């Protein structure tokens, strides 16, 4: 018998037993075995060996997280093939998967949704929410699904899912503290300092315990300057550029969070926890609107009440979750922006005193899992349930005419069964029926097959659908503080995708090789087009944005992952990802986009990480690269306009790059000291080039050296030195 069922895994990933004494429970009729060192729960909602999971899934272990600098979730998953991390204008990470943008990536913590309305924030601050994560010392592992997972997780999971699994409660006093600092060799980039901690406190043996956690991280500004020699047109002559604000980059940042979880186990069959966490983030851009810097404060309060029941008749997991998020802009007392080079203002404008936003979300879910034995005919693993989301978004404004408070209700029924026919083959069939009070109901199914011809070889593949329900802000009209109008469209359709994938898994004792190919057909994509008052008589504002279902595109690619277990102390992790995206049908007036890439995700990415460990010493070298990162398509209708576009200046791709990082750790009893050098070769990602600009309609007043562009798609820090001291008890 090759396979055994691990019972009690559950989507919430909190076991009824403590991690210290949890055991593998097996059904005598069940033909599946789970390797506990690489088991996952996110793919199907219950524990499975990674090679048998009905999805393309990767695991980021806690050792990888604790031995390198981590500012946000993007830093944790950057090595996973098929995953691309882009730093925003405020220095945070936006996470894309398999050619789909960050709004199609769903983030979970212990199976609980963290995403909010895609337009809760805008103009480059969206990645701020990737910093809302548990303290690294509290994280057990991170599971990453590439490809649609809407059957189990609903809207937002069209591109993939990131599930952060935290440490379980136990009946022993335990905890951990980590202090770290990252010192930059280039003064243009700010140093970063932080610390995080967690503690598990048993209150009543085998019944009641308390988990406490918290983290703090602060970093200086990334103040790289505009290039020398920049010119401008003023009063009929060309003069040197006015350096009233010479900076571009992000302001200093501060992130902190504090939380706790009360765990109650009244008997061996039931487990209840109440979890609450408060997050804070302050981020900004040195090149904000109006010439100065801009910064915002974000708060998020997240509360979860979870119950798990494990009986002979099945496992029932139910929870209620409430989250509150809000942000406000920094301003000076006189109402102006933050001073040039600054990172905060005299005050923060909350609610209708400014133009911030507030989001309230209520989620309720109940799911049922049962292993049904069919005797000699095999087993059926059933997982199904109901899901409900209420979300209210408030767009604040000083003017009552520009304020909006709207809400949506979503409900779903989902069910999925995995039929373990025998020890060689299994099939998974599932579906979800999505209801929204704003849109038509949408079904989305999934079918997956696993074939195990030998102990060391697995073939798996399937067809999976994904859905994305339009954001609240895409339905209603409003005008922001910069006189930019957004015109909603209540006739929008749900975005849809079909994903086809096939994988081969070679699992020898010392090595595991996973090769996956996929093709995603994406239709009814919601796009936004803009016009301006000067050229559109129907636009009565500086800019007017409109939403439509106009685009159709596809994404295809190959993902390769190789893991070599330690031999004589040496081990290896290697990953490669190839991603090709293409617009098949563009919005009216944007025909030049057809045949071009959908976004700026690199076509080729790789990571090679050899490691060495001997007793209490360990070391690694990480070599990574990004190649053929597409620039935005541009129309050739106007030759000068094309020549001054990113495509015209840089060509089809941004500049390729490679990075090398090294690190070493030594453990002294319960203390661990880690030193890492990042960007060892000190690659300079800020290398702006000057070009000629033109005046109105791209024909008047040519100015040599009137503009600049950076050949790299993202600006990474210079060489830096990261020191971490960790204590576990």
Q: What is the CATH number of the domain that holds 585?
A: 2.40.170.20
pLDDT of 12 > 90? The answer is no
pLDDT of residue 123: 66
Which pLDDT band holds residue 533 (cuts at 50, 70, 90)? low
| Lowest mean per-residue pLDDT among 403-407, 416-420, 455-459 | 403-407
Question: What are 88-104's pLDDT values in tens digits?
Answer: 878 888 899 998 988 89
pLDDT of residue 15: 37
pLDDT of residue 312: 93
Give rounded-to-5 percent helix, strand, coil for the chain.
10, 55, 35
Q: Kindly state whether residue 454 falls inside one of the protein's structural domains.
A: yes
Q: Kindly state whether residue 595 falls inside one of the protein's structural domains.
A: yes
Which pLDDT band holds residue 404 (cuts at 50, 70, 90)? confident
pLDDT of residue 179: 97
Q: Are 611 and 571 in contact (CB under 8 A)?
A: yes
pLDDT of 289 > 70? The answer is no
pLDDT of 319 > 70? The answer is yes
pLDDT of residue 699: 59
CA distance 556 to 516: 11
The tokens describing 300, both together, are 């998020």
In order of 90, 199, 237, 455, 676, the CA distances from 300 in angstroms are 18, 22, 50, 47, 32
Looking at the structure of the chain, the number of domains it has is 1
Q: Which residue has the tokens 């009929």?
A: 236
Which pLDDT band holds residue 534 (cuts at 50, 70, 90)? low
pLDDT of 434 > 80? The answer is yes
CA distance 629 to 92: 19
Nearest residue to 246 (alpha-carbon basis) of 701, 621, 688, 677: 688
pLDDT of 571 > 70? The answer is yes
pLDDT of 431 > 80? The answer is yes
pLDDT of residue 686: 93
pLDDT of residue 451: 96
pLDDT of 485 > 50? The answer is yes
Q: Kindly state whether residue 262 falls inside one of the protein's structural domains.
A: yes
> Per residue in 544-571, is it b (16+ CB within 10 Å) or e — as a string?
bbbbbbbbebbbbbebbbbbbeeeeeeb
Which pLDDT band holds residue 234 (cuts at 50, 70, 90)? confident
| Lowest mean per-residue pLDDT among 84-98, 237-251, 300-314, 661-675 | 237-251
Q: Are 520 and 554 in contact (CB under 8 A)?
A: yes
Question: What are 712-724's pLDDT values in tens digits?
Answer: 988 889 999 999 9
Q: Are 119 and 126 in contact (CB under 8 A)?
A: no
Q: Which residue has the tokens 């302001």?
A: 251
pLDDT of residue 400: 86
Phi-psi sector, 669: left (phi>0), alpha (psi -120 to 50), beta: left
Share of the chain above pLDDT 90, in %: 55
Q: What are phi and psi of 301, to 5 degrees?
A: -115, 125
Which pLDDT band holds residue 286 (cuts at 50, 70, 90)? confident
| Lowest mean per-residue pLDDT among 93-102, 241-250, 421-430, 684-693 | 241-250
pLDDT of residue 27: 39
pLDDT of residue 448: 95
Summarize the confidence of residues 518-531 as an average pLDDT.
86
Which pLDDT band holds residue 10 (cuts at 50, 70, 90)? very low
| Lowest mean per-residue pLDDT among 334-338, 527-531, 586-590, 650-654 | 527-531
Q: Kindly state whether residue 24 falls inside one of the protein's structural domains.
A: no
Summarize the confidence of residues 600-626 as an average pLDDT.
95
Using alpha carbons only, give the angle 186, 181, 211 rounded to the nearest 5 degrees. 150
pLDDT of residue 2: 40
pLDDT of 9 > 50? The answer is no
pLDDT of 671 > 50? The answer is yes
pTM attached to this predicted model: 0.90
pLDDT of residue 725: 97
CA distance 86 to 516: 23
Nearest residue to 693 (alpha-carbon basis) of 89, 238, 291: 238
Q: What is the dihedral of CA 87, 90, 93, 94, to 10 degrees?
A: -90
pLDDT of residue 648: 93
pLDDT of 360 > 80? The answer is yes
3-state SS, residue 50: helix
pLDDT of 129 > 60? The answer is yes
Question: What are 261-277's pLDDT values in tens digits?
Answer: 999 999 999 999 999 99
pLDDT of residue 256: 96
pLDDT of 301 > 70? The answer is yes
Summarize the confidence of residues 181-207 as an average pLDDT.
95
**What are the helix and strand counts (H, E) for the chain?**
5, 40
pLDDT of residue 543: 78
Residue 533's domain comprises 36-243+252-728
Which pLDDT band holds residue 542 (cuts at 50, 70, 90)? confident
Which pLDDT band holds residue 445 (cuts at 50, 70, 90)? very high
Which pLDDT band holds residue 11 (cuts at 50, 70, 90)? very low
Q: What sign for the dihedral angle of Cα 451, 510, 97, 295? A: positive
């Amino acid at each position: 018998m090759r396979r055994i069922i691990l019972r009690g895994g559950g989507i919430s990933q909190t076991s009824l037993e403590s991690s210290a004494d949890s055991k593998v429970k097996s059904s005598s009729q069940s033909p599946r075995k789970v390797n506990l060192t690489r088991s996952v729960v996110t793919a199907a909602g219950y524990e499975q060996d990674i090679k048998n999971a009905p999805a393309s899934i990767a695991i980021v272990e806690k050792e990888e997280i604790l031995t390198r600098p981590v500012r946000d979730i993007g830093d944790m998953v950057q090595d996973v093939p098929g995953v691309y991390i882009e730093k925003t204008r405020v220095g945070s990470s936006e996470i894309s998967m398999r050619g789909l943008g960050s709004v199609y990536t769903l983030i979970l913590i212990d199976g609980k949704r963290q995403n909010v309305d895609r337009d809760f924030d805008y103009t480059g601050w969206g990645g701020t929410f990737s910093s809302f994560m548990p303290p690294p010392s509290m994280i057990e592992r991170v599971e990453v699904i590439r490809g649609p997972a809407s059957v189990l997780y609903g809207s937002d999971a069209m591109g993939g899912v990131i599930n952060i699994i935290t440490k379980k409660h136990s009946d022993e006093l335990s905890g951990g503290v980590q202090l770290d600092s990252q010192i930059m060799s280039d003064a243009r980039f700010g140093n970063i300092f932080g610390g995080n901690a967690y503690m598990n406190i048993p209150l009543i043996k085998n019944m009641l315990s308390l988990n406490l956690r918290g983290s703090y991280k602060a970093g200086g500004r990334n103040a790289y300057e505009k290039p020398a020699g920049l010119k401008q047109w003023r009063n009929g002559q060309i003069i040197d550029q006015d350096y009233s604000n010479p900076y571009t980059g992000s302001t200093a940042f501060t992130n902190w969070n504090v939380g706790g979880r009360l765990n109650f186990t009244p008997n061996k069959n039931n487990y209840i926890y109440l979890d609450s966490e408060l997050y804070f983030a302050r981020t900004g851009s040195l090149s904000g609107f109006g010439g100065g810097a801009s910064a915002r404060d974000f708060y998020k309060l997240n509360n979860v009440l979870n119950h798990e029941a494990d009986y002979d008749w099945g496992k029932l997991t139910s929870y209620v979750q409430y989250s509150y998020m809000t942000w406000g802009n920094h301003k000076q007392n006189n109402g102006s922006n933050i001073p040039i080079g600054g990172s905060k203002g005299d005050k923060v404008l909350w609610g209708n005193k400014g133009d911030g936003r507030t989001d309230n979300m209520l989620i309720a879910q109940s799911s049922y899992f049962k292993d049904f034995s069919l005797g000699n005919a095999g087993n059926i693993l059933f997982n199904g349930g109901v899901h409900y989301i209420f979300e209210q978004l408030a767009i604040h404004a000083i003017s009552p005419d520009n304020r909006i408070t709207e809400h949506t209700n979503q409900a779903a029924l989902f069910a999925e069964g995995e039929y373990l026919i025998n020890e060689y083959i299994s099939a998974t069939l599932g579906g979800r029926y999505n209801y929204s009070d704003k849109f038509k109901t949408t079904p989305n199914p999934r079918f997956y097959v696993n074939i195990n011809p030998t102990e060391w070889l697995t073939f798996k593949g399937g067809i999976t659908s994904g859905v994305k329900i339009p954001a609240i802000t895409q339905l209603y009209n409003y005008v922001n503080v910069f006189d930019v109008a957004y015109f909603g469209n209540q006739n929008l359709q749900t975005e849809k995708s079909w994903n086809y994938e096939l994988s081969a898994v070679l699992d020898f004792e010392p090595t595991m090789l996973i090769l996956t190919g996929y093709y995603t057909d994406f239709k009814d994509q919601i796009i936004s087009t803009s016009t301006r008052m000067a050229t559109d008589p129907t636009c009565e504002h500086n800019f007017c944005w409109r939403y439509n279902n106009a685009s159709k595109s596809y994404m295809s690619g190959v993902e390769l992952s190789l893991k070599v277990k330690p031999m004589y102390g040496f081990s290896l992790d290697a990953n490669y990802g190839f991603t090709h995206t293409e617009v098949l049908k563009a919005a009216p007036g944007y025909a030049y986009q057809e045949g071009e890439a959908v976004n700026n995700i690199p076509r080729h990415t790789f990571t090679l990480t050899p490691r060495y460990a001997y007793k209490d010493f360990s070391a690694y070298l990480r070599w990574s690269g990004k190649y053929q990162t597409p620039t935005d398509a541009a129309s050739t209708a106007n030759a000068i306009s094309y020549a001054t576009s990113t495509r015209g200046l840089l060509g089809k791709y941004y500049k390729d790059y490679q990075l090398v990082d090294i690190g070493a750790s030594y453990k002294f009893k319960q203390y661990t000291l880690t030193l890492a050098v990042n960007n060892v070769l000190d690659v300079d990602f800020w290398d702006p080039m000057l070009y000629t600009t033109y005046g109105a309609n791209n024909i008047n007043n040519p100015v040599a050296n009137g503009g600049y562009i950076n050949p790299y798609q993202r600006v990474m820090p210079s060489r830096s030195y990261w020191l971490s001291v960790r204590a576990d008890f």
